[in-house]
Amino acid sequence: MDSNSKNIMDMFERGKVVKICAPMVRYSKLAFRSLVRKYDCDVCFTPMIIAADFMRSAKARDSEFTTNQADRPLVVQFAANDPQTLAEAASAVAPFSDGVDLNCGCPQRWAMAEGYGACLINDPELVRDMIQQVRSRVENPRYSVSIKIRIHKDLRRTVDLCQKAEMAGVSWVTVHGRTVEERHQPVHYDAIRTIKDSVSIPVIANGDVKSLKDVESTCLRTGVDGVMVARGLLANPAMFAGYENTPLECVWDWVDIALEHGTPFTCFHQHLIYMLERVSSPAERRVFNALSSTSAVIDYLRHTYSS
């Protein structure tokens, strides 16, 4: 599939609510992206990739970035703190993707200690320089360059960051509606609305979206152009298609896709643990979670969920 055939910016311009699978360490890899695409997911992100490591090692490039022709539209998310390195990484993946995203939201201590992730929201000039370098290196003007951020306690700083990013040529912004310190506190929808009202580029809301109804209510409350979901899709990969819980068809789709992609057992099993959590009893979960081979998992599913 040609990268322009489902251009991300075209989706925004058509005015539809764009539904996005978030970057998730270990989980948003090719096999899972293939699954959610079957259930109305519009755009998928790779897991966060450290740009410097990616450019330093061919082995890292092969293990961190796997895709295929059907895996589109695809955004590659990088952790970076150097404009030239990010631009080189973007140039390397541009022929195989539809956009790159700079992670400015990861709150983990190791990332912030390295100058990655959420600490970047406090350096809007560096973010601006990184966007500009990517824009100058990647020739395709329709190639998406985005950032994913958290909010400041002083929202004026977040607005300033987003406006500087817009002037630098960023295509769109994803706002996780919590501060760096907040984890499970309620999402600040009013803050997302304020950011949306302060820029003319598309804005995506992220945080606490667990159903298609949540997608609709979030858009109504914030005026955003789309939503990005992480945990909600792990629990129910068919969420964007309107299912309240993971349908049995989706469970078997995952088995087929995971086996086809040679997904390691731990990852294969963990996705199923998430998918079945809402629809199984505590006793069933104890049995299922203790299984230790692909054949045992398939036997269990056939026995327990045969239609």
Tell me what pLDDT residue 63 has.
85
pLDDT of 62: 87
Domain assignment of residue 2, yes or no: no
Based on the fold, state whether residues 63 and 148 are members of the same structural domain.
yes
Same domain, 45 and 105: yes
Q: Both 271 and 295 in a single domain? A: yes
Q: Residue for token digits 């590659």?
A: 76
Q: CA-CA distance, 47 to 39, in Å (whole number)?
A: 20
283/189 same-domain check: no
pLDDT given for residue 35 in this prediction? 98
Which segments within the chain are labelled E, that is strand?
A: 18-21, 43-45, 49-50, 74-79, 99-104, 144-150, 172-176, 203-206, 226-229
* Same structural domain, 90 and 132: yes
User: What range defines the domain where residue 280 resides?
Assistant: 248-305
CA-CA distance, 91 to 74, in Å (whole number)?
Answer: 15
Any idea what the CATH number is for the domain that residue 59 is in? 3.20.20.70
Kindly state whether residues 154 and 300 are assigned to the same domain.
no
Is the CB of residue 228 less than 8 Å from the CB of residue 249?
no
The tens place of each residue's pLDDT in the chain, 307 residues long, gives: 333 346 899 999 888 899 999 999 989 999 999 999 999 999 999 999 999 999 998 888 888 899 999 999 999 999 999 999 999 999 999 999 999 999 999 988 899 999 999 999 999 999 999 999 999 999 898 999 999 999 999 999 999 999 999 999 999 999 999 998 988 899 999 999 999 999 999 999 999 999 999 999 999 999 999 999 999 999 999 999 999 999 999 999 999 999 999 999 999 999 999 999 998 999 999 999 999 999 999 999 999 887 5
pLDDT at 15: 86
Q: What pLDDT does residue 6 have?
A: 66
pLDDT at position 138: 96
Instruction: State yes or no: is 106 an active-site residue.
Output: yes
Identify whether residues 267 and 290 lie together within a single domain.
yes
Q: pTM for the complete prediction?
A: 0.95
Q: Looking at residue 60, what is its pLDDT?
A: 83
The tally of domains found in the chain comes to: 2
pLDDT of residue 1: 33
Backbone angles phi, psi at 101, to 5 degrees: -130, 135
User: Helices 294-305 and 265-276, interaxial angle, to 10°?
Assistant: 20
Listed residues 219, 241, 263: the one ending a domain: 241
SS3 state at 123 = coil
CB 138 within 8 A of CB 90: yes
Domain end, chosen from 224, 241, 258, is at: 241
Residues 130, 47 share a domain = yes
Q: Do residues 63 and 168 both lie within one domain?
A: yes
Report how far residue 43's alpha carbon sits from residue 226's, in angstroms, rounded to the nearest whole number. Answer: 10
Same domain, yes or no: 155 and 270:
no
Strands 43-45 and 49-50: unpaired
Six token digits for residue 56: 């330093």
Out of 106, 119, 162, 250, pick the active-site residue. 106
